[in-house]
Amino acid sequence: MPLDLSKKNNYEILGVTAASTDEEVAEAYKKLKAKYSEDRFLPGDAGNDAAEMLEAVEQAYSAIQTERNIANTDKSSERETKREEPKNTSNQETKSDDADYAEVDRLIKAGKIDEAQQKLDECSERRAEWHYLQAVIYYKKNWGNECKKQLEIAMTKEPSNAKYKESYDKLCKELDFKNKNFTSGNAAEGKNAQTAGKDFDPYDRQMGGDPCLNSLCQCLACNMLLNCCCRCR
């Protein structure tokens, strides 16, 4: 049964209040993240619920951080002599995040998916690019639906980003093609299958192949081998 989080605000999801300090909010987030990161691999509904809660926790924490950063900026703007200080700090955090994202990108391209996930989990900010990279990692693991959810979050945070929109459209085409053709056992359109398997591929197919196409190719190869053996007899 799907979880109903619609009646809970961001603080309630983390188990804290609006009066909680930044440190208390961060501590609650870390504990819940550790719990649901492990529980999401449980079988059945337990794993699905944990994955949903992990996503809710991440969004709640990101929203609280954004809200508090805006509030802090508004307060600092009243003091002209300190107006530049939060701006510089924000720039430093942005540069740090960009460097982390670049490292995650490098690890994915190198095929080090577990290391890339660990590095991504260490990032404190959950910007749009974070969710895009998480989508890439999920795609590499052949977790199509999870990949789609992360791309949707990335587009929500940056609606004008053409990269996210293009990746999302291609992924939807790929998932739709597989559902229509391979779930029903229909693999007659081989040419279209090759095209669909290469739709959402930011890393030149380093993100995993199409298991259905691989199985089809193996079956064809076996049939050819058997035919040759029969003729030899």
pTM for the model: 0.46
pLDDT digits (tens, 9 = 90+) for 3-56: 677 778 999 999 999 999 999 999 999 999 999 999 999 999 999 999 999 999
Q: Examine the domain organization and report whether 101 and 157 are in the same domain.
A: yes
Mean pLDDT score, 74-93? 60
Percent of the chain at pLDDT exceeding 90:
48
Q: Examine the domain organization and report whether 51 and 79 are in the same domain.
A: yes
Query: Does 219 have pLDDT greater than 60?
Result: no
Place of tokens 């290469």: 198
Q: Examine the domain organization and report whether 100 and 50 are in the same domain.
A: no
Whether the CA torsion 58, 61, 65, 68 is positive or negative: it is: positive
pLDDT of residue 84: 52
Query: Does 109 have pLDDT greater than 90?
Result: yes
Q: What CATH number is attached to the domain comprising 117?
A: 1.25.40.10
User: How far is residue 106 from each of residues 109, 110, 116, 195, measured CA to CA in Å?
Assistant: 5, 6, 8, 26
The answer to the question of residue 216 being in a domain is: no
Q: Examine the domain organization and report whether 99 and 66 are in the same domain.
A: no
Average pLDDT, the chain: 78
Query: Does 199 have pLDDT greater than 60?
Result: no
pLDDT digits (tens, 9 = 90+) for 110-154: 999 999 999 899 887 888 999 999 999 999 999 988 999 999 999
Q: Examine the domain organization and report whether 77 and 106 are in the same domain.
A: no
Mean pLDDT score, 194-218? 49
What residue numbers bound the domain in which 131 lies?
Answer: 93-175
Which of 127, 152, 175 represents a domain boundary (last residue)?
175
**Domains identified in the chain, total number:** 2
CA atoms within 13 A on the CB side of 17: 2
The answer to the question of residue 24 being in a domain is: yes
Q: Do 115 and 143 touch, CB atoms closer than 8 A?
A: no
DSSP 3-state assignment of 169? helix
Q: Examine the domain organization and report whether 103 and 164 are in the same domain.
A: yes
Q: What CATH number is attached to the domain comprising 12?
A: 1.10.287.110
pLDDT of residue 97: 81
Q: Examine the domain organization and report whether 102 and 75 are in the same domain.
A: no
Q: Examine the domain organization and report whether 79 and 130 are in the same domain.
A: no
Contacts of 165 (CB under 8 A, 6+ apart): 155
Q: Which of 128-132, 173-177, 209-213 has the lowest mean pLDDT?
A: 209-213
Query: Does 188 have pLDDT greater than 50?
Result: no
Q: Examine the domain organization and report whether 99 and 78 are in the same domain.
A: no
pLDDT of residue 2: 54
